[in-house]
A and B are shown apart, each in its own frame.
Chain A
Amino acid sequence: MSDLTHLSLADARDALTSKKISAVELTKAHLSAIESARILNCFITETPELALKQAAASDERIAGGQAGPLEGLPLGVKDLYCTNGVRTTAASRILDDFTPTYESTVSGNLIRDGAVTLGKLNLDEFAMGSSNETSAFGPVISPWKRKGDPGAKIVPGGSSGGSSAAVAAHLCLGATATDTGGSIRQPAAFTGTVGVKPTYGRCSRWGIVAFASSLDQAGPIARTVRDAAILLRSMAGHDPKDTTSVDAPVPDYEKAIGASVKGRRIGVPKEYRLDGLSAEIAGLWDQGVQWLKDAGAEIVEISLPHTKYALPTYYIIAPAEASSNLARYDGVRYGLREPGRDITDMYEKTRAKGFGPEVRRRIMIGTYVLSAGYYDAYYVRAQKVRSLIKRDFDEAFAAGVDAVLTPATPSTAFAQGEQGSTDPVEMYLNDVFTVTVNMAGLPGISVPGGLAANGLPLGLQLIGRPFDEETLFSLASAIERAAPNFDFPQPWWR
């Protein structure tokens, strides 16, 4: 019954409600796929017993007519979400065997709606990275292969690389992820999946290990736009435990799938046509414009003049917030502790041993830009530039633009070790098209646009008005229908 893993989430839901399949058999099919894909290193912790127990309970609820919107659907959870009774690592050594006694609001919402949780997915350490190579549990290998290069281990993107790879390899029907600068949309683009970064405040951040609190947002990765819409509806919603979560009704996003996009005004920002943008990415972008035109949308060129400052701004604000958030890892209340001759020595040794090189680097940059004498020159200036970046978008939307179309990434996925080993900034450039969205708190979606000449997926990004995820789902489904079909990789890893 291994073909059960090839159902879309929506089809699996329908097959469950019409009792063509059971949640237990659907879960078993995914557990066996996970078992045979350990070489990809998608999961940090597998929870098969828990999953089977949840599946059995789902079958009972379905039989009793009590099915929730995600009843019996097997999902993966990024290991940045705290899960009650299940070890949560943030892919860092410093959390050691930390086992929460509570459930994050978003993963709790999925369980409330009947989802089956298969385990905890690998990521870049504390979600800091764009290739899933900074995980203390080793890199994730993408199921995708570069044409004519069977030996290269392709990265699944990051930081939600376990989520994107597991969804692309059909190890789960969908997965949770988080996005601070592109960590949902870039890995989705690298793996031919759909990734949604909702509006800041749409999903609760409570119980998700914090990286940069003014930027972090939870969202889904799935294989179709419809599946992503179904997942977001369950994940989203107001939570009194997160004061930045917004008290606004959650629409039925699935209804936006296939809705007409006729007359929608789509902005194409000229500043995203970077010097040296590859012909293939530029070609995909033009193609995306054409697909939306064919669907009846109106295309307008827009200007977002502060675009080129977004990434430098991010590399001040995100490390500053991280250095503050990660101060809690001190070897006292949870996680790793290294003995020292006094308490300061204990802190310093614990943090040196527990944090990997990229996390240490970002904490140090953040500490520097917040330190006396540099705070105004770096941090306050960056917060002002961030205001300007947001204002660029506000003005475009005020002028009648409904959404913005851009490439999702500046290239296709690369192989392990190919980027950032000598200069950390090289890796940071992966987020050049996605990071503006976090700066402005807007929703963004990454949707596949087909395959590049090297055989790897390419993605387009749509950026929407605050809390207008529905328009993004309509536009993304129009692109999904128009884009060339492709098959996910055959399971060479078995």
Chain B
Amino acid sequence: MSVDSAVVRRIAHLARIAVEENEVERLRGELNAILSFVETLSEVDVEGVEPIASVLPMQMKKRADVVTDGGIAQDVLVNAPVKEDHYFVVPKVVE
């Protein structure tokens, strides 16, 4: 399978990465080089093989559903690029 320039633009949008028109061709070449490298997996017989879930034979640990942390809004917000009071600020999403 290989990708064309329309697919490159679609993937970039899904990944939320702006791509300039003059970058599309180069990206297409690079992505196709990687895809052709992984193409070899299509020759492996995976009939009846379970996809791996974990390399460790262990049960998912669970804990009681109680609050164990919190009340640190200041710490949570300290690295925010734009903030107001105890809120992250983003461009307007609804009209």
Closest chain B residue, CB of each to CB of A312? B38
Given contacts A334-B81, A343-B90, contact A348 B17 (CB under 8 A): yes
Closest chain B residue, CB of each to CB of A362? B34
Residues of A within 8 A of B42 (CB): 381
A309–B50 Cα gap in the complex (Å)?
17
Against A, the Cβ 8 Å flags (1 = close, 0 = not) of B56-69 are 10101101000000
**Which of B38, B55, B93 makes the CB contact (< 8 A) with A200?**
B55
Given contacts A98-B79, A382-B41, A425-B37, contact A365 B31 (CB under 8 A): yes
A98–B79 Cα gap in the complex (Å)?
6
Residues of A within 8 A of B86 (CB): none
Contact assessment for B49 and A388 in the assembled complex, using a CB-CB cutoff below 8 Å? yes
Against A, the Cβ 8 Å flags (1 = close, 0 = not) of B27-40 are 10011011101111
Closest chain A residue, CB of each to CB of B79? A334
Residues of A within 8 A of B88 (CB): 332-333
Q: Tell whether A313 is near chain B: CB-to-CB under 8 Å.
A: yes
Contact assessment for B80 and A333 in the assembled complex, using a CB-CB cutoff below 8 Å? yes
Given contacts A333-B88, A388-B44, A424-B30, contact A99 B78 (CB under 8 A): yes
Residues of A within 8 A of B6 (CB): none
Closest chain B residue, CB of each to CB of A314? B38
Contact assessment for B44 and A385 in the assembled complex, using a CB-CB cutoff below 8 Å? yes
Contact assessment for B81 and A337 in the assembled complex, using a CB-CB cutoff below 8 Å? yes
Contact assessment for A441 and B55 in the assembled complex, using a CB-CB cutoff below 8 Å? yes
A261 → B minimal CB distance (Å):
26
- The contact size tier of chain B is 35 or more
Q: Which residues 3-38 of B sit at the A interface, judged by CB distance below 8 A? A: 3, 7-8, 11-19, 27, 30-31, 33-35, 37-38
- The contact size tier of chain A is 35 or more
Closest chain A residue, CB of each to CB of B44? A385
Closest chain B residue, CB of each to CB of A355? B17
Q: Tell whether B91 is near chain A: CB-to-CB under 8 Å.
A: yes
B72 → A minimal CB distance (Å):
8
Q: Tell whether A201 is near chain B: CB-to-CB under 8 Å.
A: yes
Q: Tell whether A291 is near chain B: CB-to-CB under 8 Å.
A: no
Task: Pick out which of these stretches binds chain B: A2-10, A152-160, A240-248.
Answer: A240-248
Q: Tell whether A384 is near chain B: CB-to-CB under 8 Å.
A: yes
**Which of A315, A336, A367, A440 makes the CB contact (< 8 A) with B34?**
A315
Closest chain B residue, CB of each to CB of A440? B55
Q: Tell whether A44 is near chain B: CB-to-CB under 8 Å.
A: no
Contact assessment for A243 and B60 in the assembled complex, using a CB-CB cutoff below 8 Å? yes
A291 → B minimal CB distance (Å):
30
Residues of A within 8 A of B18 (CB): 345, 348-349, 351-352
Residues of B within 8 A of A381 (CB): 41-42, 44, 46
B84 → A minimal CB distance (Å):
13
Residues of B within 8 A of A260 (CB): none
A327–B19 Cα gap in the complex (Å)?
17
Q: Tell whether B51 is near chain A: CB-to-CB under 8 Å.
A: yes
Contact assessment for B34 and A424 in the assembled complex, using a CB-CB cutoff below 8 Å? yes
**Which of B3, B37, B63 makes the CB contact (< 8 A) with A312?**
B37
**Which of B11, B17, B60 makes the CB contact (< 8 A) with A368?**
B11
Given contacts A200-B55, A246-B58, A363-B15, contact A312 B40 (CB under 8 A): yes
Q: Tell whether B85 is near chain A: CB-to-CB under 8 Å.
A: no
Residues of A within 8 A of B39 (CB): 312
Contact assessment for A347 and B44 in the assembled complex, using a CB-CB cutoff below 8 Å? no
Residues of B within 8 A of A452 (CB): none
A303 → B minimal CB distance (Å):
16
Q: Tell whether A390 is near chain B: CB-to-CB under 8 Å.
A: yes
B2 → A minimal CB distance (Å):
11
Q: Which residues 196-232 of A sit at the B interface, judged by CB distance below 8 A? A: 200-201, 214
Contact assessment for B31 and A364 in the assembled complex, using a CB-CB cutoff below 8 Å? yes
Contact assessment for A387 and B17 in the assembled complex, using a CB-CB cutoff below 8 Å? no
Instruction: Show the binding face of A for B, using Cβ within 8 Å.
Output: 96-99, 101-102, 200-201, 214, 240, 243-244, 246, 306, 308-309, 311-313, 315-316, 323, 327, 330-337, 339-349, 351-352, 355, 360-361, 363-365, 367-368, 371, 374, 377-378, 380-388, 390, 423-425, 428, 440-441, 466
Sampled A-B contacts (9; CB under 8 Å): A200-B55, A312-B37, A333-B76, A337-B81, A348-B18, A361-B30, A364-B12, A386-B52, A424-B30
Starting from the known contacts A243-B60, A364-B27, 18 additional A-B residue pairs (CB-CB under 8 Å) come to A98-B79, A240-B61, A311-B37, A313-B41, A316-B38, A334-B79, A348-B16, A351-B15, A351-B16, A363-B15, A368-B3, A371-B14, A382-B41, A384-B49, A384-B52, A390-B52, A424-B30, A425-B37
Instruction: Show the binding face of B for A, using Cβ within 8 Å.
Output: 1, 3, 7-8, 11-19, 27, 30-31, 33-35, 37-42, 44, 46, 49-52, 54-56, 58, 60-61, 63, 72, 75-76, 78-82, 88, 90-93
A-B pairs, top 8 by smallest CB distance, nearest first, are A441-B55, A383-B51, A334-B79, A337-B81, A352-B18, A348-B18, A384-B46, A101-B75
